[in-house]
Chain A
Amino acid sequence: MALLQIAEPGMSAAPHQHKLAIGIDLGTTNSLVATVQSGMSTVLQDEHGHALLPSVVRYKEDGNISVGLSAQAAQSSDPKNTISSVKRFMGRGINDIPDTTHIPYQFRDTGVGMVQIETRAGIKSPVEISAEILRSLKSRAEKALGGELTGAVITVPAYFDDAQRQATKDAARLAGLNVLRLLNEPTAAAVAYGLDNASEGVYVIYDLGGGTFDISILRLAKGIFEVLATNGDSALGGDDFDHRIFCWILAEAKLPPLNQEDTRVLLTKAREVKEWLSENSDAQITSVLSNGKLVNIKLSAEKLVELTQTLVTKTLNPTRKALRDSNLSIDDINGIVMVGGATRMPQIRQAVAAFFKQEPLTNLDPDKVVALGAAIQANALVGNRSENDLLLLDVIPLSLGIETMGGLVERIIPRNATLPIARAQDFTTFKDGQTAMSVHILQGERELVSDCRSLARFELRGIPPMAAGAARIRVAFQVDADGLLSVTAREQSTGVVAEIIVKPSYGLTEDEITNMLKSSFGLAEQDKQSRALREAIVDADRLIEAINAAILQDGHLLTADELTAIEAELVSLKNTCASNDKDKIVSSVEALNHASENFAARRMDESVKKAFAGQDLNKLVL
């Protein structure tokens, strides 16, 4: 008969109506799936008792696809068809990948959008490859839970932009998963520790994975986790510690440069030694190389600390920066959550404890904590949790806005707004008779379009011809609970609508994202000045446009001298606009205004005369 789980009071499901929900940590190196059973979040294991699924996909000769350990084992023998760390390419174009020369894959630049990888099974996108990993986790979960899944929560790094989030969501859909929500990884870790049950607090999530380091500072207030700051190092992880040990073995045993096989064997040894030394004081390294040479040396925990001290210190710089960005001091921190297998190393825990002057939370398995938190959230989202538990809300990581005249960004949804959210703002036309408007959607904290990330562009056509500034175009931004954006533009008088669902073609590197955030603080003053300059130029353009139109229409009202004077000022203003000197532009605008004062007055008189000509003064109703 069926196996039952214990439900919350009054929440028993009818037969065949169990709402099975899972949380997935889709990691760069390893992925996991977890679920809540009988009120307890547990990571699901495969048939062999492995919880971690290496995030490696291999397209085999026989047309089959292998995922996980078996794919990982074939990595050196079949590098071109065995894809690992595909998360780094999610939502990225070929130009976003820093250095493709060290990556064995054959990239295909499709011109538009995400980079593709050529395998023997054809050209695959990172989304398809990620979907294979998700499919494998999904089938594991279905076997373990004995039924169809209602939905899944998938975690993504806090700094993932819309393109990367959308790519993750697409991968899940491709794998046949119903995505309940995407959740930020640090938020998931905080949930696993039940930090969302507290009323408020500030928490640091220190995540040292296999190949990446992320630090996030979260503030919890009224059930909302706000990301105050993120920082990290995309090229620092547990693997670097293995490499330090490996280099030490080479030096200590006086080994010549090794072949690939021996390198792999010794790197694996190095990892085992590192793990062993987290709980023991000495380790013996014994290995026979392919040339028959015996390596037999001893490494003490003390020596390991010495070897890797610089790596540990390297994590503290981003930590310090994140703390600075959040404008907090270590006294404001209520707790530190350790995530990632590498945080098992005592020297890391000690360094973190010394930095924050408090012990970090370590009682949950740091490899599993993100998946556990995602499962708890998934369980709540499908409605298996009783009482009036607050559903956790996430926030938008970077502000969203549109481009306005002069290359400026008008922010519509500010950073850290809670999701879901909808905001609208009215815009107007710049030129007389303008019948179309281009809507350029941007994400970032800076003032100028060129400093923000372009997400998408679309055009609203069919605006009825009107004088500049008369049309009212309402641009509405809507971000759903996963942080995905749709934008509509509607001309209010005619109701013409254009809309777009932001499915951006490619993303930024994570360094660029963190840099964007940081630079918006550091360059605030410079941004303010650029904005003032652009605004002055827009003003000048508008004036030039208006005067030219006036001359065309009413030029006969001017004497030749007056016309020359105005034209001289027009030329001079056009020239100063090119100078990028805000003060000069402003004074030049004033000069032109002054030169055309009489002209404006005469035009006014003329139009009044025209309006009143032939009218009986007594019959005029004023």
Chain B
Amino acid sequence: MTVTAPPELRPVGSLDETRAGGRTRRKPASRLIPGGFVWILPGLIISVGLIYYSIVYSGYLSFFDWAGGRSRMIPVGFDNYVEALTNPVFWTAVRNTVIYFVAVFVVQVLGGVLFSAAMHSKILFANVYKVIIIIPVVVAPATLAPAHLQVWQTNGTFNQILESIGFGFLVQGWLGQSTTSLLVVTLVGCWGSIGFGFILYFAGMAQIDPEMLEAARIDGAGNLRILFSIVLPNLKPITISLAILNFITALKLFDNVWLITQGGPAHSSEFLGTMIYAETAGSSRNLGYAAALSVILMLIAVVTSVVIQSRSRERVANSEELPRV
């Protein structure tokens, strides 16, 4: 039986160009457009209009000193970018972003894999544990922020626990110190991220061919060997995706930080997201400077994502070229 694909599904440039009478006959341009294109056009216009127009407009705004509304827009060239790149708070925010990304990513991967492996084992009340692990993912940060504040403030739960177990010498103002405020924000981030890693890894592990695992067992591999030699390599695409998502999340981080420390004290827990918000919502707002920060943020996100993607592809290609032993 021969299956013939409808014309609109055929690859462009292969069958559409036919020779007739020794001359190349081109089909009208409209026939070269994929069949469903016209149907996604409205959505495309909206997304391009709302997203890419906003990005371009932000780029335009970044060359002005502008408080918004009908206040005067004063052209300042690249001054906003220079101001951002020479502002120590900007570099504190970049440093915090990297620290947050690394810490949350590591905890998410380790926590996600461990919980997923545990849930694929036969344990009692597995569904209860799953719910407990996933709850932090689904609850809004604004809902949880008061609880986190209660835990970490000077007379909060954490210090009370330290006192009660004889570690009173460790009691301190976790939120109100430059050395610990970022730690609190990062711990809150870790706490909320494990569930998301768990969801992806749990689904990923379910996709691994049971015969492969069975073969490994027949060959004498133990649980740990199976985890590190079979399961984790098969989950590599998930790990790469988590790395990209985590980095973008760290770059855009705003809600938890604003609700818990507002980037303080003394900008010690500042992130790019909180800097941008402070510039747009503060009474001394400068939308041009905020736009410049947004453009820098976007460039970092795009470049980093491309680098992570291309590096991971190179490694996959290299590993495929390795001779099988």
Q: Do A and B bind each other?
A: no
